[in-house]
């Protein structure tokens, strides 16, 4: 099995996440892509973090129409800070030693890779698929050997922008699936600064 993992806060999930997952699935012939919402991101503040249950449900809604995409609650169930090394170990055990794990990340995550827990061990256990813009000026990084670059048209969508739009009453239409947009309004998410971890 060739397994893709895309981890993130998904606060909320949007078309940028879904698009890189879909491109990675096709370009690297992955059997499935697993979306893993984190419990507590090691490198981000959590003042605007919606509850794990809400973020999980939004991902579930976003992927339900795609049989190649699944959601895992592994990091939410584990609790505490979410470290990818623990998640990769868990999936390797679940899918067997023959399975190959590909971690799908965006360019901002590539720049932070050196700060990930046990990164030297992690690069021995999985490969990275890095979504980059065409003609991106690549700087050398210590992780080049384990990173496959995947060129994608830049989609300047971010969860931060979506949260800010909701807070100020601006439209979020066409930035994320409609079912997720409805969930946000129905559950009054991102209206004010709050942490429901």
Contact 159, 9 (CB under 8 A): yes
Write down the least CB distance from residue 108 to ligand ATP, Å: 5
The structure tokens listed for 45 are: 């503040």
Write down the least CB distance from residue 20 to ligand ATP, Å: 5
H/E segment holding residue 179: helix 178-186
Write down the least CB distance from residue 175 to ligand ATP, Å: 10
Q: Which residues bind ligand ATP (CB under 6 A)?
A: 8-11, 16-17, 20, 105-106, 108-109, 131, 155, 157-160
Closer Cβ to ligand ATP, 97 or 173, answer by number: 173
Closer Cβ to ligand ATP, 113 or 125, answer by number: 113
Q: How far apart are CA 4 and CA 170, in angstroms?
A: 34
- List Cβ neighbours of 158 (8 Å cut-off, separation of 6 or more): 14, 16
Residue with nearest beta carbon to ligand ATP: 106
Q: Among candidates 174, 188, 164, which has minimal Cα distance to 18?
A: 174
The structure tokens listed for 1 are: 């099995």
Closer Cβ to ligand ATP, 96 or 171, answer by number: 171
Write down the least CB distance from residue 97 to ligand ATP, Å: 26
């Amino acid at each position: 099995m060739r397994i893709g993992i895309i981890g993130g806060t998904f606060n909320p999930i949007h078309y940028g996440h879904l698009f890189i997952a879909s491109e990675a699935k096709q370009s690297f012939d992955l059997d499935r892509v697993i979306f893993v919402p984190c419990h507590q991101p090691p490198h981000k503040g959590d003042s605007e973090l919606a509850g794990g249950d809400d973020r999980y449900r939004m991902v579930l809604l976003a992927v339900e129409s795609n049989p190649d995409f699944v959601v895992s609650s592994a990091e939410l169930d584990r609790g505490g800070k979410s470290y990818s090394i623990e998640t990769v170990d868990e999936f390797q055990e679940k899918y067997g030693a023959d399975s190959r794990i590909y971690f799908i990340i965006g360019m901002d995550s590539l720049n932070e890779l050196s700060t990930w827990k046990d990164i030297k061990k992690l690069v021995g256990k999985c490969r990275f698929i890095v979504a980059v813009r065409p003609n991106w000026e690549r700087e050398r990084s210590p992780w080049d050997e384990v990173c496959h670059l995947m060129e994608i048209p830049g989609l300047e969508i971010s969860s931060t922008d979506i949260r800010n739009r909701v807070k100020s009453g601006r439209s979020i239409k066409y930035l994320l699936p409609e079912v997720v947009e409805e969930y946000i309004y129905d559950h009054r998410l991102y209206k004010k600064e709050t942490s429901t971890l």
